[in-house]
Amino acid sequence: MSSLQKTFYIETFGCQMNFHDSEKVVGTLISEGYAQVQREEDADLIFYNTCSIRDKAEQKVFHRLADVKKLQKEGKRFAVLGCVAQQEGEKIFERAPYVSMVAGSASYHNLPAMLVQIEAGATRVTGLDDRETDQTFETEFTARTNPHRGYITIIEGCDKFCAYCVVPYTRGKERSRTSQSVVDEAKRMTDAGYTDIQLLGQNVNSYRDPAGKKSFAELLTAVGELPGIRRVRFTTSHPRDFTKDIIDAIDAVPALCDHVHLPVQSGSSRVLQSMFREYTREQYLERIAWMKAIRNKEISITTDVIVGFPGETEAEFGETLSLLDEVGYDGVFSFKYSPRPNTPSLQYIDSVAEGEKSRRLQGLQEHQRELQRASYSRHLGQTLEVMVEGKNGARGQIIGRTSQNKTLNFVTHDQRQPGIGDYVQVEVTQVFPNSLLGKMVG
């Protein structure tokens, strides 16, 4: 690397969408002649790709900015990308005057032009006006960090406007890519050796092919039938738009993984209505029943839950616990309700006290842990296929991931050590509430 080459550092907060956006931003920066470095100290340009889903996530970003403030003296430039950027906009320049660029995800297709401004010495470059855009951020320069397993964005933005959620404001309106461009990208990935692809969107089930060729289920099938593909996943699903043809596709196409993440948020129809989720407990359970009825696979189901939503009573919280019993999830991501700027539920009285939210969260997590302890034991003695992800040095174990997205670490007494990205058969010898342990067979 020549010492004259411009360098950048990037740090990513938040969800898979943000993570994958960063891969596209990195690819774009490299194509513009920048080199990536691993420490802020070594960079000319420092990017934070931010998340504002809960107050804590947003605070993290401002703490990070305060930590690195001292580096401004060395002439470094700072850029804030992502959801906090779109949400706070130019207010970020007031709060952290050493930031030179603030840009939301809907403006990344303009990154090269914004970089030109930065290089010309502009101090307040913004990309904030594009929330209503129909454009998606497609680039041939995506710098994927893993050579075996990778993401493809199929739909950006969200039109659901759940009462508590910032995403429709931070990521703009829904816009889908054509199925042709998605399949072409997947094909380029399988040609390059990728075997595991995850299709991304805030709500993949509202995918609409602008060319009118394929439904979401048909797109899943097309990617799942590409030569060389072993595993196709998708996230996130919305129960309201989740249709039965998706389950039928999973049942029919071997490469479509036996795992569905279907966020429920609450087990109480009254709370769901107040969240504007547009489904009832019963309708949600109907979708679960479809999954349990298929013949060729056992679908592992995971979810997201919010506890302490405004007005949630103890009895309504109890309905969420009973829903966990009824569904039998393999994983639950649970959060305390966090009031967010611009969202409708900001108008509600945040009626559940902080201590009570913590108590419900802890109660729910303990409850789920016991459920998982019991349900994971179904895997004891099973032989499962895993993709090798790495070595767990200290204990001489190899890290694997099952098609249900479970961690299955294993040992091998074989001389041949499998390489990262290989698929091997592992017999499960021990189960924990969140992972499995086994030995390689065959």
Q: Which residues bind ligand SF4 (CB under 6 A)?
A: 158, 160-162, 165, 167-168, 202-203, 238
Write out the binding residues for ligand SAH, residues 333-362 only, by CB under 6 A: 335, 337-338, 340
The answer to whether residue 107 forms part of the interface with ligand F3S (CB under 6 A) is: no
Smallest separation, CB 291 to ligand F3S (Å): 25
Residue 438 partner contact from ligand SF4, ligand F3S, ligand SAH, none using kind-dependent CB cut-offs of 5 to 8 Å: none
Residue 18 partner contact from ligand F3S, ligand SAH, ligand SF4, none using kind-dependent CB cut-offs of 5 to 8 Å: ligand F3S
Nearest residue (CB) to ligand SF4, 9 versus 284: 284
The alpha helices in 130-178, defined as continuous H runs, are 167-171
Element at 437 (helix H, strand E): strand 435-441
Smallest separation, CB 340 to ligand F3S (Å): 9
* Residue 173, amino acid: K
* Residue 367, amino acid: H
Distance from C-alpha of 354 to C-alpha of 360, rounded to nearest angstrom: 10
Which of 7, 18, 215, 409 touches ligand F3S by CB under 6 A? 18
CA angle 191, 194, 199 (to 5 degrees): 110
Peptide bond into 302 cis (omega under 30): no
What residues contact residue 12 under an 8 Å CB cut-off, 6+ apart?
A: 18, 19, 22, 49
The answer to whether residue 203 forms part of the interface with ligand SAH (CB under 6 A) is: yes
What residues contact residue 370 under an 8 Å CB cut-off, 6+ apart?
A: none
Question: What Å distances lie between residue 174 and 118, 185, 205, 210, CA to CA?
Answer: 29, 20, 11, 12
Residue 54 partner contact from ligand F3S, ligand SAH, ligand SF4, none using kind-dependent CB cut-offs of 5 to 8 Å: ligand SAH
The answer to whether residue 53 forms part of the interface with ligand F3S (CB under 6 A) is: yes
CA-based torsion, 218, 223, 228, 232: positive or negative: negative
Smallest separation, CB 13 to ligand F3S (Å): 7
Element at 356 (helix H, strand E): helix 354-376
Which of 40, 225, 248, 304 touches ligand SAH by CB under 6 A? 304
The answer to whether residue 310 forms part of the interface with ligand SAH (CB under 6 A) is: no
* Residue 75, amino acid: G
Nearest residue (CB) to ligand SAH, 167 versus 384: 167
Residue 83 partner contact from ligand F3S, ligand SAH, ligand SF4, none using kind-dependent CB cut-offs of 5 to 8 Å: ligand F3S
The answer to whether residue 52 forms part of the interface with ligand F3S (CB under 6 A) is: yes
What residues contact residue 145 under an 8 Å CB cut-off, 6+ apart?
A: 23
Which parts of this chain interact with ligand SAH (CB under 6 A)?
Answer: 53-54, 164-165, 167, 202-203, 236, 238, 263, 265, 304, 306, 335, 337-338, 340
